[in-house]
Structure 1
Amino acid sequence: MTKDAFNALLKTLEEPPPSVKFILATTEPHRLPKTILSHCQRFDFRRISLREIVERLADIANKEGLKITNGALVLLAREADGSMRDAQSLLEQVLAFAEPAGDKVGQSTVDEKVLQDILGLAERQILYEISSAVVQGDARRCVELVAAVVVEGRDLCRLSRDLLEHFRNLLVVRLLESGTKKSEGLASGQLLDLPDQEVEDLRSQAADLSLETLLDYFDFMAAGDEDVARSAHPRFALETVLVRLATLPKTLPVVQLLERLEKLEKKLSGEMRTVAGPIKDTLIQSPRAVASAPSAAVPIASDREKVWQDFVAFVRREKKFLASHLEAGTALELSPRQLRVGIVERHHLNYLQDMENLSALTNLAKQFFAADVTVDITGLAADDAARKNESLGTGAAEQGEGSPMVKEALRIFGGSVKTVRRENG
């Protein structure tokens, strides 16, 4: 509405005609001037449940003589997303699509398949097939399923959003099932406004997945959905994110990790007690061995590289997207009070130098180092980065030559240490 139209409306509200009740329905109340709102009573419409929309649509379809299956009505109600107005608009499209037989519309039956053709939607079953392929680590199957959707002419951006919602639903079901009591919100439809059969299907699929794994799936799918929506080639973007999900390592629950650590500690402590006796005898019989034993201190250069890798891994656990930019950097300075990171690529540099991202990185550094660490992100030329990596490799090689195992290998096989590469994990 224009400003003049709002003024005319205000005039009507200030001097209403007798016996007239004026009702204004809008989805954008924030755009109404305060002078209009001050003369009105405001009532916000609540979200209508899936079951209520299905019942109302069934009643309308019956009066219009349209034969439509319950599954198709559920699909219509789901598309309406809690809005009765949108649900009725979609039903009007179905009525216009249905071919008349004689003088009545209702002789032709509309099922889920017909409705999917009308709205351009992929089958709900495809969501379970793709998510199952992701869980099984079958990246090839994921790509094949996307190709099948493309052949049918479905909207890939919509498929991506549906997959994001599907992983969210799996996460909610798993979260509720992990509690000691079943949530009342699940039974009332507050958390999952879905048919009972679909809730059972979600429970079945989420039963063997941990919360940590489902969180990873949702995080990656949420980031991938944004890429699909912005991409000029949504098929390529969707295939990429599904392949990444299928090849994503399964995250073990913290409880299982702690149990494994406890078992490993017990095993190592038992081995140390077994070996302790012979080592003590050897030291008594050969005092010279004590003098020639190497120092147990870890070299500083090796320490810095390991601490940097551990810090990047810590950031990856807390904020995956932030870590993806941090991994492109090199630790120029690493001390208890200062962390200076050099970045070559401009887009990584701009992202990490952003005030909000830099603040988040600084907070993570303080948590990791348990100290008041200052983080500085600086740009590097490609030549500077190469020289820095070369110097780190040389220092690591010098430290590697000091290792007793390396010395023994050089004595037996000959040769020299050129560089030392630290493997992750």
Structure 2
Amino acid sequence: MAGQSNYPGVEVRGKSLRINFQWRGKTRKVLVPGIPVNAKGIRQAAALREIIKSEIETGQFDWSRHFPNHRLAETETAHPADYTVADLLMDWFKDQKGILSPNYEHNSQWKIDRVLIPAFGHLPLGVLNSGHIRNWAKKLSVSRNTVKNYLAPLRAAIREALDDKKLSENPLDDLRLPKEKRSVTKRVEQNREKIDPFSMEEYSRILSGCHWPVERNMFQFAFWTGVRPGELIALEWQHIDLKDKTAAIRQAMSRDVVSDIKTRAKGRRTILLLPLSLEALKKQAEHTRMTDHGRVFITRRNEPFVNYNQAYWSFRWACERAGVINRGIGQTRHTFASWMLMAGEDEMWVSKMLGHTTVEMVRKHYRKFIKDGSPTGYTPRTNWESSDGISLEGDKPQ
């Protein structure tokens, strides 16, 4: 006796009965122990299936109660039945103390407290599934990238739970986020930081407008290296090699704290010092080379920078004195990239100088600055006026 019964979700499998139900977005097919394969047993299996479905909907389903020998029952012993998504997130966050950078820690706490716990914190961990995420995301008016950013702590916490055997399966494995609303896409494009590099003439005026040599040196270095503002004000002399003409970018100012850049993906790199950036460092050495704090760049009050705002206002005032429209000190990075590409430097090298792991970011944001003197900005490498001898079909299969 095998096959489907007259009750939906109940199958006869040889000398056993099997029921199926949806759990965490997947169809589970489970053999039911202790029920005979007859008409009465089939009705009992169908009733059990309805009970399980109801328990799943209300968050009361336990594998260990109904199927104590099932592999998924083992994960329930790793935490109590009332262990919620909020408990998972808070336990994960406690374990990250002293590991995450100050900025990442601050952002993670905000996402947990203000986004994730209000949305999913009440759910038992065993109930959470991708459907909860999709239904929540549909109601938001933010970009898909923002949604992914919101979910980062939850994904990290789930990965740790899998490692600790608190979960046997990732409840978000089959997650497919809804498409971004057109109004959101339009708003994101409008609000995206505009790449508006300074001209060489504006650069010269900004430096001329600096009343303090330490600021002039810092801005000159920024324009000719493309480092991020946080990396600029955290740079230390121990990371400078004037002989080899290199600077190791190993730390950055974040949330008023200098923290290490731990990975290549976050910008850890060694950059080449071009002549004008090297010149700026040699001049700056007269002011900070022998100081106890070890920082390369300092404020006009001869003190190490304690936050990004100090650098922002220094640059803004320099622009005002020079009569140049202030586009922010972050535009020095875009200026460096555009200058290098317009001069014909290799885009992969530019990408490495900026701290990108791939060249795609440079191609996406700075492609328009790559010029070669032709009307369209590109000259074909092949002489298409004569196609003799050029094969466009490739090798034919044998």
Q: What TM-score, normalized to structure 2?
A: 0.33
Greater RCO structure (CA 8 Å; 6+ sep): 2
Larger Rg: 1
TM norm structure 1 = 0.31
More helix by share: 1
